């Protein structure tokens, strides 16, 4: 048996170097990001409602753009703390001619001044494991949501053993630049497990479901009841 990973190893909150931002903007995340939108649609259906959507930790906006395409009546406020990521996001949004529906916001949680007071949908991908205090995300969701808000948060799952981390880096990022491999490795070490997320939700008094959806991903989702 390999070395057990009993404790998570935190990593920096922001990926704010131009090298990181460029690597993420150029990488092919079609499988993971495509499944994000597909799973949302499976759970919450297609909709022509003019949803107000908040995307927390949007990075170079790949999921933001996929979500905007899948739900053409929605408008999205996409937030990220790294200006380097947002530079690539702005370019991508312009190229897709979605400026009228996607508003990019430079901000770092906890942030109290989102463009809308509350949102119909709050999504987030791979932000939670970066935060020094995970309660920042859940408290932000409570602040920006209201009764009926759909919450959909996907993040990485920390493997049980150190050897599994290296196996996943080779399997899922072996053809990517070294900086992406390193970031993926660090993120797996920093990720949470289902029981840890369940404890966070109890503390935040959020009635959301935690489920494992792949060998490396967890999903927290549900509809706010208050």
147 is a domain residue: yes
| Local confidence band at 110 (pLDDT 50, 70, 90 cut-offs) | confident
Residue 6 domain flag: no
Which position has the higher pLDDT, 222 or 112? 222
Is the pTM for the entire model greater than 0.75? yes
Average pLDDT on 25-47 reads 83
- Mean pLDDT across the stretch 94-109? 95
Does residue 4 register a pLDDT over 70?
A: yes
CB atoms near residue 7 (< 10 Å): 8
Give domain status of residue 13, yes or no: no
Q: Where are the alpha helices (DSSP H) in 48-193?
A: 62-70, 83-95, 135-144, 162-173, 178-190
Q: Cα–Cα distance between 2 and 9 in angstroms, integer? A: 17
- The residue with greater pLDDT, 34 or 181, is 181
CATH number at residue 46: 3.40.50.150
pLDDT of residue 6: 75
- Among 172, 171, 169, 134, smallest CA distance to 153 is for 134
* Residue 9 belongs to a domain: no
The pLDDT score that the predictor gives to residue 50 is 96
User: Which value, to the nearest 10 degrees, does the dihedral of the CA atoms of residues 56, 62, 65, 68 take?
Assistant: -50
- pLDDT band, very low/low/confident/very high, at 1 (cuts 50, 70, 90): low
Number of domains in the chain: 1
Does residue 145 lie in a domain region? yes
Residue 92: band (very low, low, confident or very high) from pLDDT cuts 50, 70, 90? very high
Domain containing 102: what range? Answer: 18-223
pLDDT score for 2 = 63
pLDDT for 10: 83
Task: Report yes or no on 74 lying in a domain.
Answer: yes
Give residue-wise pLDDT tens across range 126-172.
999 999 999 999 999 999 999 999 999 999 999 999 999 999 999 99
The whole-number average pLDDT for the span 48-72 is: 95
Report how far apart the first and last C-alpha atoms of the chain are (Å, whole number). Answer: 45
* Residue located via tokens 């880096």: 169
- Give the residue, 214 or 22, on which the prediction is more confident: 214
Does residue 5 lie in a domain region?
A: no
- Structural domain contains residue 205: yes
Confidence label for 175 from pLDDT (cuts 50, 70 and 90): confident
Higher-pLDDT residue of 30, 97: 97
Task: Give me the percent of the chain exceeding a pLDDT of 90.
Answer: 75
């Amino acid at each position: 048996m390999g070395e057990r990973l009993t404790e998570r190893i935190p990593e920096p909150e922001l990926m704010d170097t131009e090298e990181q931002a460029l690597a993420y903007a150029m990488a092919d995340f079609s499988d993971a990001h495509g499944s994000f939108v597909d799973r949302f649609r499976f759970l919450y259906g297609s909709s022509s409602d003019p949803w107000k959507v908040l995307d927390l930790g949007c990075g170079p906006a790949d999921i933001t753009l996929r979500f905007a395409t899948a739900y053409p009546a929605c408008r999205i406020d996409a937030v990220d703390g790294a200006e380097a990521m947002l530079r690539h996001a702005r370019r991508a949004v312009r190229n897709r001619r979605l400026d009228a529906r996607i508003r990019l916001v430079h901000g770092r949680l906890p942030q109290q001044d989102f463009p809308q007071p509350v949102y119909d949908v709050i999504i987030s991908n791979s932000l939670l494991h970066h935060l020094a205090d995970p309660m920042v995300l859940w408290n932000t969701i409570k602040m920006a949501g209201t009764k009926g808000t759909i919450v959909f948060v996907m993040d990485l799952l920390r493997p049980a053993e150190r050897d599994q981390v290296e196996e996943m880096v080779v399997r899922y990022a072996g053809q990517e630049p070294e900086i992406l491999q390193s970031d993926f490795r660090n993120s797996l070490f920093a990720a949470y497990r289902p029981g840890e997320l369940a404890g966070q939700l109890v503390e935040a008094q959020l009635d959301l479901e935690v489920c494992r959806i792949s060998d490396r991903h967890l999903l927290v989702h549900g509809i706010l009841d208050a």
